[in-house]
Structure 1
Amino acid sequence: MSLTITIKYGGKTHEIALSESSKGLDLKQSIQDLTQVPIARQKILVKGGKLADETPVVELQRLKQPFLVLGTPDKNLPTKPIEKQVFLEDMSMHQLNPISNDPSGLVNLGNTCYLNSTLQALYKIKDLTKKVETYTPSQGARGGELVMALKSLFLSMDKKQEKVTPTFFLALFRSILPQFAENVNGRYLQQDAEEAFTQLINNLDNSLNIKDLFRIEMKEVSTCVALPEEEAQINFEESLKLNCHIDIKTNFLRDGILNGLSDIITKHNDLLNSDTDYQLKRTITRLPKYLTVQFVRFFWRTDTRKKLKILRRVQFPFELDLSEMLDESIRSEKVEVRDKLRKIEKDNIEVIREFKKAKKDISLTPLQQQEEDEMKIESIKTKFRDEFKQVVPSGFDFESTTENPSSVYELQAVIAHAGTSADSGHYQAFVRDDNDLEGERWWKFNDDKVSSINKERIESLAGGGESDSALILIYKGVGL
């Protein structure tokens, strides 16, 4: 009886068929045949270590996850027949398109920076990307066209080409959502990135069922201000994001979110037989794996008929703790996991420091050194995950969860806007580099121009003028 092991090598996924009696050495031999990487050079990450020759392969299959393989191929090993040599002057423009390890930029097709920045932020959400790239429409199913277009786009971005042109996706996006096809004299107008982000999530959910990854549940308690002794009314509601409301006192993200969780409304009271004020207070009863926070920076001016921007500076953290906003029904459990997680984080800091201080092996080539570093980074991440698994509630499944077991999140991506109006100015995306364990290095996506920046640049997105100001923050549960 045979079994299948999935590996990742060179940015691609491969499936290897083996017998149930196979050992680690058999898998390594199959990898050598597939990739031309000699067994002695192979590095296969298994639970933070390297695969032993005697390890039964059937144990690996039970883990149900692809295994990262690193190593440089040996040109002296038997290879496929040599392809006919192609000279530079005979190559097409597509063949000449430069390839690098930097992420792909997206070409601006005329006021499409709002969509490009949104797509870069969504691409960072790996649970969503995986669902998109493995999506296959069922026979007779409708509504999957947008997913298939996004799948093609994401697969192009996976290749890490310097520039990707999203022509087909843009055309289909405007066809399905005509509000983004508004134009004057044939020139498409700038649009709101937050609206594009929300519409994309809603439309993709029709085929992918992704809303649980973002869904926040809240309990709303309504009390009459004039009759505090009257029994409070309790309702439950859902949202795909938290709003950060900005006023003259808002200096920090926490303040703006808390402002959005309380409100005063006027409605009729039967006992008083008149309209009166009601105090609304909301607490969070479900925390999603991915937390989206929107800065409510835009407001409608009827005289100018434009969505103008609040320029106030509002600082946001790289690690966000929502414990004070949680309902009593979940607070103690989330805080308990948070405290245990913080201890693991503290212990892990020393491991990361040792990795950064370690001397480089001068006998390795730059490519071999890069592979060695990637192996160690994956090993540290796996160690952290294994320790985290020991402190989460029993039965918690890291692979399938759509919830955050703790109350803390780490920042993954930012969509920022420069200018004074939502329908003008310029949008950019800023995305954390997965290969930087400390979160110091980020990628800036200015359409097709991609550059590496540091953490301090992200802090400057707090706003305070017409320059780049954070509009959407995407956080991910720590340890997930």
Structure 2
Amino acid sequence: MFIITNHTLVSIKNAGKVYDIELDPNDTGKVLKERIYELTRIPAIRQKILIKGGKLGDDEVVSTLGLNTKQPIMVLGTPDKDLPSKPVEKQVFIEDLNKNQLATVSSDPSGLVNLGNTCYLNSSLQSIFQIEDIASRLKTFTVSGSSSSNPSQALLSALRLLFQQMSSKHEKVTPSLFLSLFRNVYPQFAEQDNRGFYKQQDAEEAFSQILTTLTNELKTQDLFKISLKSEQKCLALPDEPSKITYEDATKLNCHIDIKTNFLRDGILGGLKETIEKYNDTLQSNTEYEISRTITRLPKYLTVHFVRFFWRRDTQKKSKILRRVQFPFELDLSEMLDESIKAEKVKIRDGIRKIEKDNLDLIRDFKKSKKDTSLTPLEQKEEEELKVLSIKTKFADSLTSILPEGFKVDGATENPSSIYELTAVITHAGSSADSGHYQSFVKDASDLDGERWWKFNDDKVSSVSKDKIEALAGGGESDSALLLIYKAVGL
């Protein structure tokens, strides 16, 4: 248990700032709230103090709460100077609000306007926008020197502005500046047909080029870097020593053939291949088998369904329509190199136990009724507090099973072997040069992953988990092209 001795400092975090507060052993919640007000100017009645049990009562002795002193206590609320005047009209509830009123408390994300065959770009941007590490690094990005002399920096500056607009929850955002600069940096996306219209492009290629720019300018490669160990063995001479090499990649490929039914099968197929090359001992060409194992797992894992292939007869990128199922939680343990496998699996098992323990909290949260005495804004804040409380409990439990010295904040490598699905880019149609791209992004505020956002350019709607499962393919309707996974717990 956490016991506060005389004049012990307790940290709180509000609006990105950390404050230290001095407390005595018998100080109550009321005293803590008064100290918080002195530092943040948030009145006690507006303070949302994030502790495992939920709300902090005025009469509770803080030293008996078992707080985690390794992490600052999160405090939400609005300072005095920003407080609106108390309304005199009767209580209004969310279900009674009109469309304009609802917009002020809505958390719906922004759509992106299609500027003429730009769905491939919009779906890529929506998927990248949900990667918190990129969004946060862009906020502090500044152009060094003249943007005209560095087109890539100008592109990132436009991306930062675009993400700022999307963060403001506008119903629609027009990415015209970013599109113009994107085509300038990567001219292949400016290709036009014989009528002067911009052609449809491949979303995977657009996604990869944006990540390339982010890597070059923001040094984000560690967030996505997969390290691989390759063993090359001569099949005709099994006793000949294998050749070991190492390489890095930014995504895993899921190769699809007539036997591929599940994502696992396609990834394993991509990690093994047979090539033909010259052998000095045999003095002739012979077959070699290349087997790859993973030696580093990134925080964000991108998986590419290799659905498009070039057809000479039609001179187009045709699409493999086969249905390939993918999981919401992906475990890569069987693909890991023995040098890291045992530790990753141990932490995986610990995380699954924590997830099981958290299920009751999530169920209780889902079943809880809204407090009808609160305003719509207060109801929204109350829900956010409960979600943060559950997530913080998970984070505290995770810290206890991680290797000594491993810091969750700023981590770029997955400490375990499991990932959770956070975004899907899909394609509908039979060719990469036609059809339509959309993206589906997991609602970060929904603890059990049942609610997802569907981005059809500027049309944004909420869909269930069942809809995501239906994106496995099997025809010309929406089928997954890119999957973005995030390390569980990070």
Scaled by the length of structure 2, what TM-score is found? 0.85
* Residue aligning to 2:319: 309
Instruction: After TM superposition, list the pairs within 5 Å mapping 1:138-287 onto structure 2.
Output: 138-139=144-145, 142=150, 143-184=152-193, 185-287=195-297
Unmatched runs of 5 consecutive residues or more in structure 2: 1-10, 24-30, 88-99
Alpha-carbon separation, structure 1, partners of 2:306 and 2:265: 13
Shift of 1:367: 2.9
Deviation at 1:186, TM superposition (A): 2.4
The answer as to 2:353 corresponding to 1:378 is no
Question: RMSD of the TM alignment (CA)?
Answer: 3.0
Name the % identity.
Answer: 59
Mapped pair 1:7 → 2:14: yes
Distance 2:380 2:101 in 1: 25
The 3 A distance-change label for structure 1 pair 303 and 428 is: same
Aligned-partner Cα distance in 1 for 2:68–2:449: 31
Aligned residue among 90, 104, 112 for 1:106: 112
The aligned length equals 449
2:300 corresponds to which letter in structure 1? Answer: Y
Q: 1:388 to 1:48 in 2, by over 3 A?
A: farther
CA deviations on 1:152-192 (whole Å, 9 max, x unpaired) are 00000000010000011110101111110111232111000
Paired residues of 2:47 and 2:76 also in contact (CA < 8 A):
no
Partner deviation per Cα, 1:98-128 (whole Å, 9 max, x = no partner): 6642100000000000000000000011011
Q: Which residue of 2 aligns with 1:69?
A: 77
Which of 246, 267, 291 is matched with 2:301 structurally? 291
Q: 2: CA distance between counterparts of 1:130 and 1:51?
A: 30
The alpha carbon displacement at 1:27 in A equals 3.1
Q: What residue is the counterpart of 2:130 in the other structure? A: 124
2-structure distance, mates of 1:164, 1:419: 26
User: Compared with structure 1, are the counterparts of its residues 52 and 209 closer, same or farther at alpha carbon in structure 2 (3 Å cutoff)?
Assistant: farther
Q: Paired residue for 2:422?
A: 412
Please say if residues 146 and 204 of structure 1, whose CA atoms lie closer than 8 Å, have aligned partners that are also in contact. no
Distance 2:301 2:420 in 1: 9
Tell me if structure 2 keeps the 8 A contact 1:295–1:472.
Answer: yes
What is the Cα deviation at residue 423 of structure 1?
1.2
Distance 2:123 2:427 in 1: 10
For residues 69 and 404 of structure 1, the distance between their equivalents in structure 2, rounded to whole angstroms, comes to: 33
1:478 paired with 2:464, answer: no
**Which residue does 2:48 correspond to in 1?**
43
Question: Structure 1 residues 17, 252: CA separation in 2 closer, same or farther (over 3 Å shift)?
Answer: closer
* Deviation per residue, 1:438-478 (Å, 9 max, x gap): 00000000000000000000000000000000000000011
Aligned counterparts of 1:65 and 1:447: Cα–Cα separation in 2: 39
The answer as to whether partners of 2:230 and 2:244 remain within 8 angstroms in 1 is yes
Does structure 1 retain, via aligned residues, the 8 Å contact 2:18–2:72?
no
Tell me: CA distance 1:344–1:463, structure 2 relative to 1, closer, same or farther (3 Å): same
The 1:349/1:76 distance shift into structure 2, 3 A limit, reads closer
SS in 2 for 1:275: strand
How far apart in 1 are the matches of 2:270 and 2:200? 28
Moved more, 438-447 or 200-209: 200-209
Shift of the alpha carbon at 1:369? Answer: 2.1
Structure 1's 314 and 384: CA in aligned 2 closer, same or farther, altered over 3 A?
Answer: same
What is the alpha-carbon distance in structure 2 between the residues aligned to residue 119 and residue 216 of structure 1? 22
Relative to structure 1, the CA distance from residue 287 to residue 44 in structure 2 (aligned partners, 3 Å threshold; closer, same or farther) is same
Matched to 1:44, the amino acid is: I
- The alpha-carbon deviation at position 297 of structure 1 amounts to 0.2
Give the Cα separation in 2 of the matches to 1:220 and 1:149.
39
* Residue 459 (structure 1) aligned with residue 466 (structure 2): no
SS at match of 2:109: coil
Query: What is the one-letter code of the residue matched to 2:171?
Result: E
Which of the numbers 343, 346, 360 marks the counterpart of 1:333? 343
> Aligned to 2:399, which of 382, 385, 389?
389
- The one-letter code sitting in structure 1 at the alignment partner of 2:322 is R
- Residue pair 1:24, 1:55 contacting (<8 A) in 2 also: no
Tell me the CA shift for residue 97 of structure 1.
Answer: 13
